[in-house]
Amino acid sequence: MLARLVLRGAGCFAPPRRRYHRRMALQLFGIPVSRGMAIGRAVILASARLDVAHYFVDPGTEEAEIERLRAARRAVRAELDTLKADLPADAPAEMAAFIDVHKMLLDDRQMALDTITWIRQRRYNAEWALTAQLDVISRNFEEMDDTYLRERIADVEQVVERVLRALRGSAGLARSASGNGDLVLIAHDIAPADMLQFKTGVFRGFVTDVGGKTSHTAIVARSLDIPAVVGARSAGSLIRQDDLVIIDGDSGLLIVDPSPVILEDYRLRQQESQLARERLKRLKFTPARTLNAEPVELLANIEQPEDCAPALEAGAMGVGLFRTEFLFMNRGDHLPGEDEQYAAYSRVMQAMQGKPVTIRTIDIGSDKPLDAEDYRDGEFTHLNPALGLRAIRYSLSDPAMFRMQLRALLRAAVLGPLKVLIPMVAHASEIRQTLAELNKARAELDAKGVSYGPVELGAMIEVPGAALALPLFLRHFDFLSVGTNDLVQYTLAIDRADESVSNLYDPLHPAVLNLLAQIITQTRAAAAWKGRPVEVSVCGEMAGDPSMTRLLLGMGLRSFSMHPSQILAVKQEVLRADPDKLTPLVQTVLSSFEPEELQAALAALG
């Protein structure tokens, strides 16, 4: 565990303290990341970094302190190896993948060297050196624009806390924990590898102070179907050991010490929620068709080849977005070669059993460094990294690396229907260069006598300039995928990571809705002059939000790509929808600009 178990009071799972007066019910809010409701007594975990000792080691003892650090890292590596070896057969595929991510971070050469530097040059003790280096890395991650990648700092923090625990010789989350009644976990953060505790039934749900919808902890929570709320920043300080807590994973609400009336209401809602989820499972093999018999494509967003299993289990019709960034990150100078990339793409193609797979080329750059060292060298220091050298701009700045990825993708296309998705395209020159590099990659494979397959080429529409110049994209690309997360951010000029303005990040802003409707309408109309249909899908958060499904169907969207855990809930909305009736209602939404009018028009969609 990246946070050690610290119960406020005596030892682990101490008996409930006697209370002499009752405090009023307390409501807290966080980010809902996994549906369902949990009711139980709070078990409090405090961060291991809260009590880190800070002292200077004696001159001449630096190497002994470094060896102490290395011994702790070896202990953590053995712990992770044991965790992976002991994974039960029915554990989600994400578990093994995330343990591998933590092992990779633990073995990161640059992080190890930088931590040792703190010890040698400043004589910091090992714990202090680790937390100092973590602070440096955290500042770099805070500059990232992409939410998913920014939240990867949580993985680094979790690895650091494992090492801190090993340095202290203390235990993590007790796997043999037991107690009377249901328990819920309240923590600063929880490592995905330690979440098997939930599978054994000890904990019914969890709350963390930090995290977001795309954190690895959230992903595992969804795969295990555990009610969870993250990013509830004050939960750890306001909730007390053994408080009765209600976790509403649907709305992100936490209720502490609820009244008997509220408690009974939530017990009934908990039963209803469980029945609803059981009913959703019956839809797995039901074709996704609207009431007027129009087929709708429901695809999965994945991050690693291991994610294919839960995607198929949820009934995904294919992969709508495979992010390739994590093949490249935290590798230092040892970036994945063509064969390593080919192996990863091949695993996805084979796992999806002939279903279509869309793989996005590396979406990384100034705001998403391949390694934290990039920042310290100043190579990617920009005033506004979100608008800098990233995504396709980064790939085109390094043609050799880009062609290597394209060659690996072309080779994997032999194994099934493969689509290649280009991120953040905005200019005609970028389109021409991308097509030229793809042709060069084919020529290089021909010269080596290496076989490859056909690919469809698509563009991500996430920049307003691309949306407004859509005819250019429709002429050159086989399909389009709308990244609504960035489209909203760039359209409204809102940094969704900046808490001071995050309340203005609004997918239902009239400008966003009209731009999205325009993209879908123009793409569907392109079939008339291209002689064949051009597919358009949405792969951002809007696609996986069931409350948005009817709106998007009314706009004409027929392809949705989302996290596998959201597929059945969206399918249920599809099965209940009649696009013929929704279309005129959506037109009313698109013509509404005042907030009151817009809300009334959205409510009419049902």
What does each C-alpha distance from 101 to 80, 152, 328, 331, 482 come to in angstroms?
Answer: 10, 10, 12, 11, 28
Name the residue type at position 270: Q
At 330 the three-state DSSP class reads coil
Nearest to 556 by CA among 593, 531, 576, 584: 584
Candidates 188, 216, 509, 563; catalytic one: 216
Catalytic site residue 21?
no
**Which residue out of 188, 509, 539, 563 is catalytically annotated?**
539
Half-sphere exposure of 359 (CA within 13 A, CB side): 32
Among this protein's residues, is 563 annotated catalytic?
no
Would you give the distance in Å from CA 108 to the centre of its chain? 22
The Cα 570–Cα 575 span in angstroms is: 9
Structure-token match 């929620």, residue found: 273
Q: Which residues contact 13 (CB under 8 A, 6 or more apart)?
A: 7, 43, 174, 177, 178, 179
> Which tokens go with 108?
């990161």
How far is the first Cα of the chain from the last one, in angstroms, to the nearest whole number? 44
Please check whether residue 116 is in contact with residue 66, taking contact to mean a CB–CB distance below 8 angstroms: yes
Separation of CA 396 from chain center: 26
| Separation between Cα atoms, residue 432 and residue 457, nearest integer Å | 13
Strand bridging mode 228-230 / 319-323: unpaired
Closest CA to 155 of 235, 116, 99, 197: 99
> Do residues 97 and 310 touch, judged by C-beta distance below 8 A?
no
* Partners of residue 538 on adjacent β-strands: 482, 560
The residues annotated as belonging to the active site are 216, 539
